[in-house]
Amino acid sequence: MRPPYPHPLIAREGWPFILGGAVIALLIAALAGWSWSIPFWIGVAFVLQFFRDPPREVPDDPRAVVSPADGRIVAVEKARDPWLERDALKISVFMNVFNVHSNRAPVDGSVRQRWYHPGAFLNAALDKASEANERNALWLRTADGQDVTCVQIAGLIARRILCSVNAGDALERGQRFGFIRFGSRVDLYLPTDAVVDCALGEKVYAAQSTLARLADHG
């Protein structure tokens, strides 16, 4: 197993919300009393758990495609990759508001291209969210020339997709590359000869759970 990647337990994207909420709660406590501030502290606790970003151990298997997000599997199917215009194996992970929302690279590879499309904010568990919702896609290519498309999709509550990489960057499996705030989904489009290693409804963990294995192209 690879050692856990070095990253704070709380994602940096969350600190403005956490500190802002704490300041408001303290002001309410000072002006109206601690009992009035309790709902605000509950809100701070919710935001704190949402932005947690625990370290994970990444499988050593070089062919492993790891989950890009925490959540449950809502799709395992043959589909058309709309980004690379190819037939593909599609695996989708739905994140609810209680899941960790830090996104991790599913494979070792270079970022060939990045696309962003504004859109709607439908329930991310719905199939049509893949085509209708706000989304950010990364085209990753492995060292042996296999293409993987990883798509961050906003959800019903999510209103911000964050991505820290661009074309030309290199990613390692399990490396953090983005974040989606408050409920969302990530779609993976894999080569059709990839072997599935997950099932519908299965609970998975980013960087740690193996969703599929790429074929050995030597």
Same domain flag for 23 and 70: no
Q: What is the pLDDT at residue 5?
A: 47
Task: Please tell me which residue in 102, 130, 184, 209 is annotated as part of the active site.
Answer: 184
Same domain flag for 142 and 89: yes
Q: What is the pLDDT at residue 51?
A: 77
Q: Which residues, 6+ apart, have CB-to-CB distance to 205 below 8 Å?
A: 56, 67, 70, 100
Q: Which amino acid is at 18?
A: I
Same domain flag for 39 and 116: no
Exposure of 189 in the CB half-sphere (CA atoms within 13 A): 21
Same domain flag for 25 and 113: no
pLDDT, tens digit, 9 for 90 and up, residues 48-85: 777 788 888 899 999 999 999 999 999 999 999 999 99
Q: What is the pLDDT at residue 1?
A: 44
Cα–chain center distance at 178 = 7
Q: How many distinct structural domains can be found in the chain?
A: 2
Q: What is the pLDDT at residue 149?
A: 98
- Mean pLDDT over 8-33 rounds to 82
Domain that holds residue 42: 12-50
- Mean pLDDT over 211-215 rounds to 96
* Domain annotation covers residue 74: yes
Same domain flag for 129 and 155: yes
Q: What is the pLDDT at residue 10?
A: 73
- Mean pLDDT over 92-108 rounds to 89
* Domain annotation covers residue 6: no
* Domain annotation covers residue 33: yes
Share of the chain above pLDDT 70, in %: 86
Q: What is the pLDDT at residue 102?
A: 85
Write the CA distances from 7 to 55, 69, 87, 91, 213, integer angstroms: 7, 16, 36, 26, 26
Average pLDDT over the chain, rounded to an integer: 85
pTM summary value: 0.80
Residue 184 annotated as catalytic: yes
